Structure 1
């Protein structure tokens, strides 16, 4: 009887060790991002920053002759600080994982810009939401829309007004595509190097995104969170920064506010594909 127990313990230990080694090898493989892939995702982030800078120029023209008020001025400064911080941060990226921080800064700036317009137009401050899933350059989403990737199940994803209308009309949304080799593909099909890029935008929606892309290239990269955590994180940041969306977007990308913290993005990248 004792011999049987000893054999059982040994077998369990061997199986556990093999499982551990397999996990370690998979994790190591996940982080083997080539220099070309890193440059590609940096270029994508840099394009997003440039697009945001152009939007800030347009915003500046819109605000000419208008009384911003203290709240709008603070939000506008926050957007400008986020733009400068994102430019500085992307230039210092040496590993793909660092892109997540760059995108988080950019997300905060995009939201601050929407707050400026809302304040000047006498509208309520918009709900803090993630960027449009289809194309993050469209800025914060305004609603969720049911959509399914090719071969996938329909799920609700955050979308801007224009893309939500396209999807409901049965048309193709305006998808953010990036270069992978000789062709342009949706960023969510661009491989492991783009995992931190997507995490920076949708980390708080991990559960939704895992279900959406189960069995695909991005299927295993999200975990936990939801709109509740996302909104609560911003409310905490607002209370620290005076309750007006001001805060400090410089240096560390938005002061103490980071609605994306708390999720475990290690996962098993790519699922079983």
Structure 2
């Protein structure tokens, strides 16, 4: 009798192990990223860098004849350095995970450029906020807006002024779309290769973005299912004055283009429910 029980236990253990291994292999296969997918997300990052370079050229023209202080010059140089660094970094990308670093550099440059414009126009320095959720090419967001994806529940997302106005007016925001096969889709529906791309912009938001991407192809990535611990993020580039790990979302501006005093977004709970 004891021998029969022992055999039964062994059989159950073997079956359970096989089931576990099969599940692990299936999960690994789902998260495998092809070379073509890496090239796709790399091309997307390269397009963002090109767009940023064009905006830097426009900024250069806007500054002609204006009296720039030391702060504006430093911020402008930081933006230029970010542009060059991002170009070098994207050229070296061979794996999807490496895109995260490229986007973090670009995010820092976008904020630096926003600081230049503020200083030149005599305005307060902008808060260090995440990029516009709908289209990161729009630069840092300026406010949160209540938005619902098609068939989903409303939730707060960071948005640029133009997209925030579109959403409030009941119009469609200007969504960043990328090629997946023969069609263009929102970047958050483009598959696991775009998880590091999103992490580079929103990693510091942790649980907020987990809720944001639930129901999309990136949901599992922000829930910790493939590209490390997204809940902690490194937020906002490579440091600078006041560096910090989180986007500043308080009452004070973030200081020079290094990022503010931390806090804010990184502490968000992220209870958004399913899409």
Shorter-chain TM-score above 0.5:
yes
Aligned residues: 258
Residue 252 (1) aligns with residue 255 (2)? no
Contact persistence 2:178–2:187 (CA under 8 A): yes
Q: Distance in 1 between the 2:227 and 2:216 partners?
A: 23
Contact persistence 1:145–1:157 (CA under 8 A): yes
Alignment TM-score, normalising by the size of structure 1:
0.76
Q: Distance in 2 between the 1:155 and 1:112 partners?
A: 28
Contact persistence 1:82–1:249 (CA under 8 A): no
Does the residue aligned with 2:222 lie in a helix, a strand or coil? coil
Q: Distance in 1 between the 2:227 and 2:73 partners?
A: 27
Deviation at residue 206 of structure 1 after TM alignment: 2.5
Taking structure 1 as reference, are residues 10 and 232 closer, same or farther at Cα in structure 2, changes over 3 Å only? closer
Two-structure CA RMSD over aligned residues (Å): 5.7
Aligned to 1:167: 167
Alignment TM-score, normalising by the size of structure 2:
0.76
Deviation at residue 40 of structure 1 after TM alignment: 0.9
Deviation at residue 72 of structure 1 after TM alignment: 1.0
Q: Distance in 1 between the 2:164 and 2:271 partners?
A: 31
Deviation at residue 5 of structure 1 after TM alignment: 12
Contact persistence 1:146–1:154 (CA under 8 A): yes
Taking structure 1 as reference, are residues 130 and 267 closer, same or farther at Cα in structure 2, changes over 3 Å only? closer
Taking structure 1 as reference, are residues 211 and 159 closer, same or farther at Cα in structure 2, changes over 3 Å only? same
Deviation at residue 128 of structure 1 after TM alignment: 0.4
Does the residue aligned with 1:228 lie in a helix, a strand or coil? coil
Contact persistence 2:204–2:245 (CA under 8 A): no
Contact persistence 2:105–2:237 (CA under 8 A): no
Contact persistence 1:176–1:186 (CA under 8 A): yes
- Bigger relative contact order, structure 1 or 2 (CA pairs below 8 A, ≥6 apart): 1
Q: Distance in 1 between the 2:271 and 2:13 partners?
A: 22
Q: Distance in 2 between the 1:159 and 1:226 partners?
A: 27
Deviation at residue 46 of structure 1 after TM alignment: 0.4
Deviation at residue 183 of structure 1 after TM alignment: 0.9
Deviation at residue 24 of structure 1 after TM alignment: 3.8
Unaligned 5+ runs, structure 2: 249-265
What is the CA deviation profile of residues 180-210 of structure 1, one whole-angstrom value per residue up to 9, with x for unaligned ones? 1111111111111111111111111221222
Taking structure 1 as reference, are residues 194 and 268 closer, same or farther at Cα in structure 2, changes over 3 Å only? farther
Contact persistence 2:207–2:231 (CA under 8 A): no
Does the residue aligned with 2:228 lie in a helix, a strand or coil? helix
Taking structure 1 as reference, are residues 257 and 175 closer, same or farther at Cα in structure 2, changes over 3 Å only? closer
